[in-house]
Structure 1
Amino acid sequence: MWIFTLKLPQLLRLKKFQYRMLTQGEIEMCRTVFGSLIQYQKVKIVNQPYLPWQPNNMFMAPEGYIHIRDLHFKKDYSKENIIYRGIFIHEMTHILQYQKNINVLLQGALLQFAHYFSFGLYNPYKYIFTKGKRFSSYNIEQQGDIARDIYLKKIPNIILYD
């Protein structure tokens, strides 16, 4: 039994557990979108998947931490390319939601079930930006993509005025 326990991390392709707090650059990047709405000092980035079957390229932040497989675990996302920065901002939206007592895990699961049970016809990430519509009126994945688009300066910041 103990041999199985020692081999389990290899079987699940888990690397040595690491985590870190946000860098100053990441906090400054987030402040351009979220201002002081997030308690940045509570956020951790972990190099382990949240779920054992979490795909290699999927980031998850259902419970206040960002979970990333080791391949994408970076020292400072504010210094990475625009794709990484956009994904990081999207995941920080889930941190904000969690800190506002939204059950990100449950809502995310329901949205993913809707996506798969509709055979991909329903895309929980797709949104239509409507002037005057409150940020909180969009689902949690749409909010993540809206935050990313705010960061990319594609749309005005509606988060700070929600």
Structure 2
Amino acid sequence: MSGRTLTSGEITLAKQLYKDSIDYDKVKIHNESYLPFDMQRDNVAMTPNGEMYYMKNTYEPDFSLAGINQQHLFMHEMMHVWQHQKEYMVRTRGLFSGVVSYYYDLDGSLLKSYPMEQQACIVSDYWLLSNYTINDWINYRNYKGKFSLSDIEGLKQKYVKILGKFPYSD
């Protein structure tokens, strides 16, 4: 389990959302299962310890050059890196991620009040909405609430309100 460091393109991509709140030199990306005996599902990435584990069909040699779906997944997993570096119990909480909902509503609570996987979905979906088209966001989002195609700015403002001063340092 050696892993590779982030490419300069991946660091630039991650900084769009996480700025300098992550120690990027500590991040490794593995092209293998985190779980023994390759028990990690093929379409699942895992980031239990500040390092990302992608199976062969989801791994990219440089996620900054990958398609939207893979970049969205990368930004989601980077949130787990951020959580780990902020001392969230990612590995322990991740044991239950297969039974928790990744879907969320923007109900006005702050990001900290959402469960770990929903936090990752919220920040990666916000990044997607901010950097790609509304149709791309519709195709890949985990947001389950209502929205109007005629009020995309209102939708963005809901995210901004939830995110508050993210990425905060505490």
TM-score grouping bracket, smaller chain normalisation = 0.7 to 0.9
Return the letter of the residue paired with 1:135: L
CA offset at residue 72 of structure 1? 2.6
Residues 150-159 or 71-80, more deviating:
150-159
- The 8 Å contact of residues 18 and 47 in structure 1, kept in 2 or not, is answered as no
- The 8 Å contact of residues 33 and 150 in structure 1, kept in 2 or not, is answered as no
CA offset at residue 21 of structure 1? 0.7
Gap regions ≥5 residues in structure 1 = 1-16, 116-122
1:160 and 2:167 matched: yes
The structure 1 segments of at least 4 consecutive aligned residues displaced by more than 6 Å after TM superposition are: none
Indicate the SS of the match to 2:4: strand
Q: 1:82-116, CA deviations, whole angstroms, 9 ceiling, x for partnerless residues?
A: 0000000000000011111111121122343xx2x
Aligned to 2:42: 56
Aligned to 1:102: 88
Aligned to 1:39: 23
CA offset at residue 19 of structure 1? 2.0
Residue 125 of structure 2, aligned match among 149, 157, 161: 149
Question: Counterparts of 2:69 and 2:57 in 1: how far apart (Å)?
Answer: 15
CA offset at residue 74 of structure 1? 1.4
**Superposition CA RMSD, Å:** 1.9
- The 8 Å contact of residues 77 and 88 in structure 1, kept in 2 or not, is answered as yes
Gap regions ≥5 residues in structure 2 = 131-154
1:74 and 2:43 matched: no
Question: Counterparts of 1:31 and 1:137 in 2: how far apart (Å)?
Answer: 23
Q: 1:33-91, CA deviations, whole angstroms, 9 ceiling, x for partnerless residues?
A: 11111111100001111113101111000101001123332111011000000000000
TM-score, with length taken from structure 2 = 0.73
Identity of aligned residues (%): 32
Aligned to 1:124: 101
Q: 1:102-153, CA deviations, whole angstroms, 9 ceiling, x for partnerless residues?
A: 11121122343xx2xxxxxxx520111133x221111110011111112112
TM-score, with length taken from structure 1 = 0.76
Question: Counterparts of 1:110 and 1:72 in 2: how far apart (Å)?
Answer: 21
